[in-house]
Amino acid sequence: MPATTRTSTTARDTGAAASAAPAGPPRSRARRPRRWAAWGFLTPVTVYLLAFYAYPLYRNVELSLREYTVRSFVQGGAPFAGLDNYRTVLADPTFWPTVTHTVVFTAASLAAQFTIGMALALFFHQHFPLSGTLRALILVPWLLPLIVSASTWSWLLNSDSGLVNAALGVVGIDPVNWLTSPGWSLTSVIIANIWIGIPFNLVVLYSGLQAIPTEVYEASALDGATGWQRFRSITFPLLRPVSAITLLLGLIYTLKVFDIIWIMTRGGPTGSSATLATWSYRLGFGNLLPEFGPGAAIGNLLIVLALIAGLIYIRIERRQHLR
C-alpha cells in the first residue's frame, strides 16, 4: 500500500514537470493554440452537462413555475403562475405529514445502514477464513434489481401469506399488517431500505478501514489499548472523511428513494408511507390526468434539500482541512 502511494506521487511530479517545461520560453506562439485545444477538450463535457443536466433542470424549474394542463403540456402556451404551484404544494394537508415521513425515512435508514455497515466492516476487517466469500454474499442486495428486492420484501411482509407473519406466529405473536396498516407501512419500507443500503456502507467503510496504516494499531497495542479504545481513538477519527462522504451519498440516495416505496406500498395506505419522491411521482404520473406543475415543484424542493446537504458537507470538509 505505501509503495503504490509513493510511485503515484513521483509519477505526478514528473508529469507536472513535463507539462511545465515547454510552457516556458515560446509563450506568445504557444498560447493561442493551447487555448483552442483547451476549448476542444472542454466542449464535449460542456455540451454533455448542458444537454443532460442544465436543460432538464431548467425545464423542471419552468414546469414548476407555470400552470400546466395536459392540453398546454402538449400544445404549449401554459400561463406563467409564479410560485402558485409551490403554494399549492405547501398548503396541501398532506405536505407536512409527507415531509415528516421523508425525514424519518431518511434519518432512520441512514443511522441503521451506517451503524450496521460499520459493524460489518469492522467484522470483516478481521480476515477470518471465508471472510471474502461472506463479504461477497452480503453484497447481493446491492446487485439485485430494486424491483426484485422490493417485490421480495412485499411478499415477505404480506399480512396473510407472508413469511414474517408466519415466523411471528410460530413464536406466538399475532400477525402484523406490515404493509396495509397506516401505523406500520412506513416502518416496513424503512426496514427494506436499510437492508438494501447496508452493502454500500459496508464496501465504502471497509475500503476506508484498509487505508488506515497497521502501524498505528501496532503502536496502540504496545501501549495496551483495549478494543473499544482502539475503535474510539484510532478507527473512528481516521475514518471520519470516509464516513462523511458515505453519509452524504447515503443521504442523497435515500432522499430520492422511490422504487422501493412505490412497489411495496404505493406510498399508502392513504399516504402513510408517502415521501416527497413518491408524492412527486403520484402527482406527475400516478394519475390519468397528470399535474406536472406541483409534481415538478416537489422535485425541485428535493433538489434543494440535497443541495443543502452537499453544501454542509463541503463546509465541514473545508473546516477539517483548515484544522
Q: Which residues form the interface with another protein (CB under 8 A)?
A: 29-30, 32-33, 36-37, 39-40, 43-44, 47, 51, 69-71, 73-75, 154, 158-161, 177, 179-182, 265-272, 285-290
Q: Which is nearer to another protein, 235 or 265 (CB)?
A: 265
Which contacts of 302-309 are long-range, i.e. CB under 8 A and separated by 24 or more positions? 302/255, 302/256, 302/276, 302/277, 303/57, 305/255, 305/276, 306/251, 306/252, 306/255, 306/256, 309/248, 309/251, 309/252, 309/255
Q: Which is nearer to another protein, 169 or 237 (CB)?
A: 169
Residue 288: CB minimum distance to another protein, A: 4
Q: Which is nearer to another protein, 143 or 167 (CB)?
A: 167
Residue 90: CB minimum distance to another protein, A: 16
Residue 35: CB minimum distance to another protein, A: 9
**With the CA atoms of 33, 39, 43 and 44 taken in that order, what torsion angle do they form, in degrees rounded to the nearest 10?**
70
Residue 190: CB minimum distance to another protein, A: 17
Residue 49: CB minimum distance to another protein, A: 12
Q: Which is nearer to another protein, 77 or 227 (CB)?
A: 77
H-state helical runs in 66-143: 70-75, 84-91, 95-124, 131-138, 140-143
Q: Give the angle 57-279-193 at the CA atoms, nearest 5°.
A: 95
Residue 110: CB minimum distance to another protein, A: 26
Residue 145: CB minimum distance to another protein, A: 15
Q: Which is nearer to another protein, 30 or 134 (CB)?
A: 30
Per the structure block, which three cell numbers stand in for 262?
A: 412505490
Q: How far is CA 299 from CA 71, 170, 193, 256, 303, in A?
A: 22, 44, 20, 9, 6
For residue 137, the SS3 value is helix
Q: Which is nearer to another protein, 37 or 144 (CB)?
A: 37
Q: Which is nearer to another protein, 246 or 280 (CB)?
A: 280
The number of helix segments (H) and strand segments (E) in the chain equals 18, 0
Residue 169: CB minimum distance to another protein, A: 14
Q: Which is nearer to another protein, 176 or 247 (CB)?
A: 176
Burial per residue of 211-235, b for 16 or more beta-carbon CB atoms within 10 angstroms, e otherwise = ebeeeeeeeeeeeebeeeebeeebb
d(CA 85, CA 60): 12
Backbone angles phi, psi at 275, to 5 degrees: -115, 175
